[in-house]
Amino acid sequence: MKKLIVATKNQGKVNEFRDMFSKYGIETYSLNDLDTPMPDVEETGTTFEENAQLKAETIADFLQVPVLADDSGLEVDALNKRPGVFSARFAGEEKDDQRNLEKVLDELNGIENREARFVCALALAIPGKETIFERGTCEGRIATKSFGESGFGYDPIFIPKGYEETFAQLPSEEKNQMSHRSRAIQQMETSIQDILT
Ligand SMILES: O=c1[nH]c(=O)c2ncn([C@@H]3O[C@H](COP(=O)(O)OP(=O)(O)OP(=O)(O)O)[C@@H](O)[C@H]3O)c2[nH]1
Ligand SMILES: [Mg+2]
């Protein structure tokens, strides 16, 4: 089986990458699976693409193999697209999913416009070549409270367009058919297959 390293420590993302790439005959390895300590990457970018590039290129330079990275987050229209690139650390540096989603619910308290979207930027860094970028989005709205147990991050408060349940209430296969991440991966598939053959 072909192998691909994804430069992430987020196990929620890893589970989704693993499911989606297995359909393409690709085995996924994350930073959590590697024995050698990897360089720490500070997410200093102002866009999802910049942060994905930093993560992918740092690890690809270090390992000298192709590396994929994902920088993603939630944009809430009534909050001027916040939390955006700060989604993981919205309520503090400790990256607490529960506190992050409570902060979004608090800030939206009493606000009618609950439109939001998930964004996923993927960067594929290939040593000696230009990095390749793809982006996927998923439109939806923020629920009035938390519903459901599956998924990760803001899934319990995000209702995708055309649905009445949150991502955390839907089976993971259903989320993976329409999510920002799956859309970005579909766009990236040919580039990944090219470098892995
Ligand atoms: O409900 C969610 N469903 C998703 O599908 C999803 N995708 C991203 N997010 C949120 O956005 C942050 C990304 O930040 P992020 O890209 O910096 O990742 P991270 O710091 O968690 O891991 P790493 O990949 O950087 O190692 C994450 O922590 C999550 O809070 C999601 N929430
Ligand atoms: Mg991060």
CATH number at residue 146: 3.90.950.10
Question: Residue 2: what pLDDT?
Answer: 92
Active-site hit among 19, 35, 61, 71: 71
Ligand of minimum distance to the alpha carbon of 12: 1
Q: What is the number of the ligand 1 atom nearest to the C-alpha of 71?
A: 16
Angstrom distance (rounded) from CA 83 to CA 2: 35
Which string of b and e fits 39-52 if b means at least 16 CB within 10 Å? Answer: eebeeebeebbbbb
Report, as ranges of residue numbers, the positions in the chain whose pLDDT lies below 70: none
> Atom 21 in ligand 1: which residue has the minimum CA distance?
10
Q: Is 8 annotated as a binding residue?
A: yes
Angstrom distance (rounded) from CA 46 to CA 48: 7
Is the CB of 134 inside a 6 Å radius of any atom of ligand 1?
no
Residue type, position 30, single letter: S
- What is the chain's percent helix, strand, coil content, to nearest 5? 40, 25, 35
Question: Residue 197: what pLDDT?
Answer: 78
Q: What is the number of the ligand 1 atom nearest to the C-alpha of 100?
A: 30
Is the CB of 17 inside a 6 Å radius of any atom of ligand 1?
no
Write down the pTM of the prediction. Answer: 0.97
* Ligand 1 binding pocket mutation candidate from 9, 30, 31, 87 (most atoms within 8 A of CB): 87
Question: Residue 1: what pLDDT?
Answer: 85
User: Could you confirm whether 71 is annotated as catalytic?
Assistant: yes
Angle ∠(128,130,133) on CA atoms, nearest 5: 140
Please give the tally of structural domains in the chain: 1
All residues at 6 or more sequence positions from 161 whose CB lies less than 8 Å from its CB, including other chains: 138, 139, 140, 141
Range of the domain at 84: 2-196
Question: Residue 29: what pLDDT?
Answer: 97
Question: Tens digits of per-residue pLDDT, 16-45?
Answer: 999 999 999 999 999 999 999 999 999 999
Is the CB of 166 inside a 6 Å radius of any atom of ligand 1?
no
The answer to ipTM > 0.95 is: yes
